[in-house]
Amino acid sequence: MIKLNMRTRKPNRLKDFDYTKNHSYFVTICAKDKHELFGGISLGIMHLSPLGHIVEDALTSIPHIYSDVILHNHVIMPNHIHFILRMCRGDYQSPETSSTSTTQATTQPTLSQIVRLFKRTVSVDAEFSPWQKSFHDHIIRDESGFTKISDYINNNVSTWDNDCFNPKRA
């Protein structure tokens, strides 16, 4: 019998952590094979491609779809995106429930469900999937962490030459 030496994929989410709770999450999603699909950086400015504009529209629509989610900060880079989402507890109204309805959904969306809908929306609008499998998240635990990550997002375009996702990094 031949034994295949296959890598076991490490779990992406924290075991037993409730990703619907009131927390802020730093999320990174990469383009498939880290191709520069979302635009390019010239003279320190990110110029979005048509696909980059689709990503921007889908990302900024998240709080309109999920009333208990706030998009605090984001950046679209040539081959990846970073953003901070804040889950806010309270009455959750599902996207399928109209704002005038009195019926409330009993389940709040998880971070994975929100990211899945976002990626699917972009894929449908683009007519292909530009995404690498899964995504990376980091649970922001305090104000100091929030500030540090916000600064990282705000400065990401200006540090592209040294970015670990930049295939042309020196």
CATH number at residue 51: 3.30.70.1290
The whole-angstrom separation of Cα 25 and Cα 105 is: 23
Residue 90 lies in a domain: yes
Residue 31 lies in a domain: yes
pLDDT surpassing 50 at residue 154: yes
**pTM for the structure as a whole:** 0.82
- Look at residues 93, 114, 111, 110 and name the one whose alpha carbon lies nearest to residue 102: 93
Which residues lie across from 133 on neighbouring strands? none
159, 77 contact by CB (below 8 A): no
pLDDT surpassing 50 at residue 106: no
The whole-angstrom separation of Cα 20 and Cα 112 is: 10
Q: Which range marks the domain in which residue 152 is found?
A: 24-162
Tell me how many domains the chain contains.
1
Residue 169 lies in a domain: no
Residue 40 lies in a domain: yes
Average pLDDT over the chain reads 85
pLDDT surpassing 80 at residue 63: yes
Residue 135 lies in a domain: yes
**Which of the four pLDDT bands, split at 50, 70 and 90, describes residue 99?**
very low
Residue-level pLDDT at 5: 55
pLDDT surpassing 70 at residue 84: yes
CA 149-28-125 angle, 5° bins: 130
pLDDT surpassing 50 at residue 127: yes
Residue 44 lies in a domain: yes
The b/e string for 148-161 (b: 16+ C-beta within 10 A; e otherwise) is: ebbeebeebbeebe
Residue 99 lies in a domain: yes
Residue 4 lies in a domain: no
Mean per-residue pLDDT for 49-75? Answer: 96
